[in-house]
Structure 1
């Protein structure tokens, strides 16, 4: 990696940090605030919509790398992200219906999967391409919503995004896949770190749907792309904590016949804060767990089975810790 590469990473971090501070002032001026309610994990009104900065910087970077690599198909998910960002911003302002948002998300992942399908078969040909397209489009849409559901305490999405982005970069580098659209992982991490400087507990700004939905979409795209290259174990390990926390909580709510699209405080990380752990302590615990998951995803290139078992133990231990007190 060149000197200019490292300088650009630092520059992205500072641009994200400064831009987040500036957008916070704008959001306060426009009174675009997230007010506490009985399902909130915060206690004071806080500006929401900081994801405008995160999404804009990532989208610009994605398009630039797509242009540099002349990977024109990579503009398909970029266009989808733009549409998702606009709708999500409207949702932050006026609360759109869950049905409308879900329809757009399904459309976005369905057309975005064309980029994945051109890379290869995620199931290595075990499923016909039309069935694989449907199955993994639904999985991708689920991941987008999981990312949104999990953005409920200070710093949590920042540390998760940094870990997944760093893991994608390290795995792709070791596997010899370090094309422009995997290098973007480091830039996404730098952007997330800049935002985290203002979102760390006590948070002075929230991502909002305009940040969490596009993040879930683009990280999901890169993870599926990695899986289509044959490294599906690593792609599954990197977001394992979010998948398990959101997935188990969703399953429990379905069994109880609750409306899963309604806000709640039943996630494992939310239970931990309700039992007295600070937002910072929970996010630090998740960050530590994610460091181990990044290591497991990297080692999965050599020992996939043992790495998967280790990742399972890490996530299970983290969830049990959140339940215990």
Structure 2
């Protein structure tokens, strides 16, 4: 896999540079607003470059493995397309949700659907006819959660690399070629992207990147349920999930709409804590995600999911209280 890793990395470097050059001419520009961490107009759409690098190189080396998962790859492609549309002219939430419905349906054609989530306190939890609906809920939830943490230079890419690296290990441990090659390919592409996106960023991945990444990680997470406890997967992809849950809980408790926008995400609070040092904030969150991912790898599939879920909820409560203390100290309105 070394040759394709290097080729994807190099091709991503070239294509992202091309996208950066032409983005302003075709309207792929991120204009800063009150919630932005940047102050100048910045090209976006780097996801176009790193997705195309993966799509071009990977079939040259692993055509048979990819051909066995045609529906899944088509699903990723659809999400990528709606991401481009959103970068260019802001696709409506309804349009994006319809695409996620169709894409999740395509995943089910490849057998990637969440039928059950294990045994909780001795009681098996299966979804039966609602399996596809729950899968859509999980996929849409995580895809948007990853999109929400794309708020600092290098953050979404760094967290995604850690998560993808963990899924690569899972694939390696269980001889799952598809998991390994897909994880490896996007890690290579994201490392190239970080050359341009590390603070101060000269281009953003845009929704063409964040939505695609969120969907790919969701795909890998569902596949990994064959080998891991459900809560283990929650830990492996913990940071986007915990951040989204915490901001939604805080908004609900303060009487605001749970989907309203603000500057109360984990990365906003920690960046202020680190004296507005973006790089230190991203490195800290990357290390925190790595700790969660390593924890997820240690959990045994034979363990009762109920006790594991308590462990995850305790992490949620601890993080909620810690961030709450920082918010009060910063006199931040959240």
TM-score of the superposition, structure 1-length normalised?
Answer: 0.85
Matched, 1:40 2:36: yes
- CA gap 1:220/1:23 in 2 versus in 1, 3 angstroms: same
* Paired residues for 1:1-325 under 5 Å: 5-60=1-56, 67-69=63-65, 72=68, 74-117=69-112, 121-123=116-118, 126-174=125-173, 176-256=174-254, 258-275=256-273, 276-301=275-300, 309=311, 316=318, 320=322, 324=326
| CA deviation profile, 1:176-234 (whole Å, cap 9, x unmatched) | 23323333212211111110110010111001111111111111011111013444343
Greater alpha carbon shift after TM alignment, 25-34 vs 300-309: 300-309
Number of residue pairs aligned between Structure 1 and Structure 2: 319
Distance in 2 between residues matched to 1:178 and 1:284, nearest whole Å: 30
> What is the alpha-carbon distance in structure 2 between the residues aligned to residue 9 and residue 85 of structure 1?
21
Query: Structure 1 pair 66/140, CA: closer, same or farther in 2 (3 Å)?
Result: farther
- TM-score with structure 2 setting the length: 0.83
SS class of match (1:228): coil
**Whole-Å Cα distance in 1 between the matches of residues 104 and 23 of structure 2?**
30
Cα distance between partner residues in 2 of 1:289 and 1:36: 28
Q: CA deviation at 1:62?
A: 6.4
Q: Which moved more, 1:99-108 or 1:207-216?
A: 99-108
Secondary structure (helix, strand or coil) at the match of 1:109 reads helix
Q: Comparing 219-228 with 272-281, which one deviates more in the overlay? A: 272-281
User: Using a 3 Å threshold, how does the CA distance of structure 1 residues 249 and 313 change in structure 2: closer, same or farther?
Assistant: closer
Residues 122 and 228 in structure 1, CA contact (< 8 A), matched pair in contact too: no
Contact 1:66/1:181 (<8 A) preserved: no
Q: Aligned to 1:126, what secondary structure does the other structure show?
A: strand
Change (3 A) 1:33 1:307: same
- Alpha-carbon distance in 2 for matches of 1:182, 1:94: 34
CA contact under 8 A between 2:155 and 2:282: conserved in structure 1?
yes
Query: Is the contact made by 2:113 and 2:222 (CA closer than 8 Å) also made in structure 1?
Result: no
Distance 1:323 1:207 in 2: 32
CA RMSD of aligned residues (A): 3.1
1:162 and 1:22 map into 2 onto residues whose CA distance is: 23
How far 1:88 moved relative to its partner?
Answer: 1.9
Give unpaired runs (5+ residues) of structure 1: none
Alpha-carbon offset, residue 71 of structure 1: 5.2
TM-aligned CA distance change 1:127 to 1:323, over 3 Å: same
Structure 2 stretches lacking a partner, 5+ long: 330-334
**1:310: Cα distance to partner?**
8.8
- CA–CA separation in structure 1 for the residues paired with 2:134 and 2:244: 19
Write the deviation string for residues 135-167 of structure 1: whole angstroms up to 9, x where unpaired: 122111111111111111100111111101110
Asked if the contact 2:163–2:236 (Cα under 8 Å) also holds between the matched residues in 1, the reply is yes
